[in-house]
Amino acid sequence: MNNDSRPIGLFDSGIGGTSIWHAVHKLMPYENTIFLGDSAHAPYGQKSKEELLKLSSKNVEWLLKKQAKIIIIACNTATTNVVSELRQIYKVPIIGIEPAIKPAALRSKTGKIGVLATQRTLDSSKYIEAQKQFPQTCFINQAGHKIVPLIEAGKLHSEELFQLLIGYLTPMLEQSIDYLVLGCTHYPYLRPVLEKIVPKNVKIIDSGEAIALQTKRILEENNLLKTDQKTGEFLFYTNKETAVLQSFIEGFGRAEKIDF
């Protein structure tokens, strides 16, 4: 088997995509990785499709210059709006991420699923079509306005964010959801806060593990795995101040600022 030491490239609108990085690293600790957080342009959730394609293309091209062998769009908004266009433009394998509504819908006992995502993700044709696959399921969608800016500002455990989440989740809980789908890669970091709000019978689900498994499958199919069993090199870049990104990758590497 070929030993391909080129890195797995990941990009997000900010630091949220590190939740996907952690899942990828847990499954494939020997792979080299390079993460790009486009925090200077965060949040992506209310940008136009044209803006999203321009920013995403710029991110992909930057990662390709770093020799990325596969690219993970660690951003639900970018995936649901422009992944098809990116796959037409670039030859490198591109992995997208979407809200994990399928496993939630298949496992739900109440038939009512709460989905917390960005407005652009909820409005995307890709997401709307995905919901139609489960006509018997009631999806209670909530756009997470202000969540990403608060996380990017280092206010993950602030009272402001806690009260914001109570306002978003209360209507879902009143309708007896039994699954809460986190439809933005920033949102898995909300789990400790969310678990203080939602009862234990409501299961919280995100896409991290599924994306890691899909990435490994594509690497195997294309003979792109790093097989030398040597611990990987992990690089993290942001085009904003590094402190917040560093707090989410502590122990795995040093966040570097780039002009981008």
Which backbone phi and psi does 180 adopt, to 5 degrees? Answer: -120, 115
Give the integer Cα–Cα distance in Å for 214 and 81: 20
Residue 185 and residue 16 in contact, taking contact as beta carbons nearer than 8 Å: yes
Residue 16 and residue 222 in contact, taking contact as beta carbons nearer than 8 Å: no
Annotation marks residue 184 as catalytic: yes
Q: Which residue has the tokens 């122990």?
A: 251
* Catalytically annotated residue among 36, 42, 75, 78: 75
Residue 19 and residue 206 in contact, taking contact as beta carbons nearer than 8 Å: yes
Taking CA atoms, 98 is separated from 200, 210, 212, in Å, by 25, 10, 13
Among 214, 231, 225, smallest CA distance to 6 is for 225
Annotation marks residue 138 as catalytic: no
> In this structure, what token pair is assigned to residue 152?
């990017």
Residue 179 and residue 113 in contact, taking contact as beta carbons nearer than 8 Å: yes
* Catalytically annotated residue among 151, 181, 184, 249: 184
Residues annotated catalytic, as ranges: 75, 184
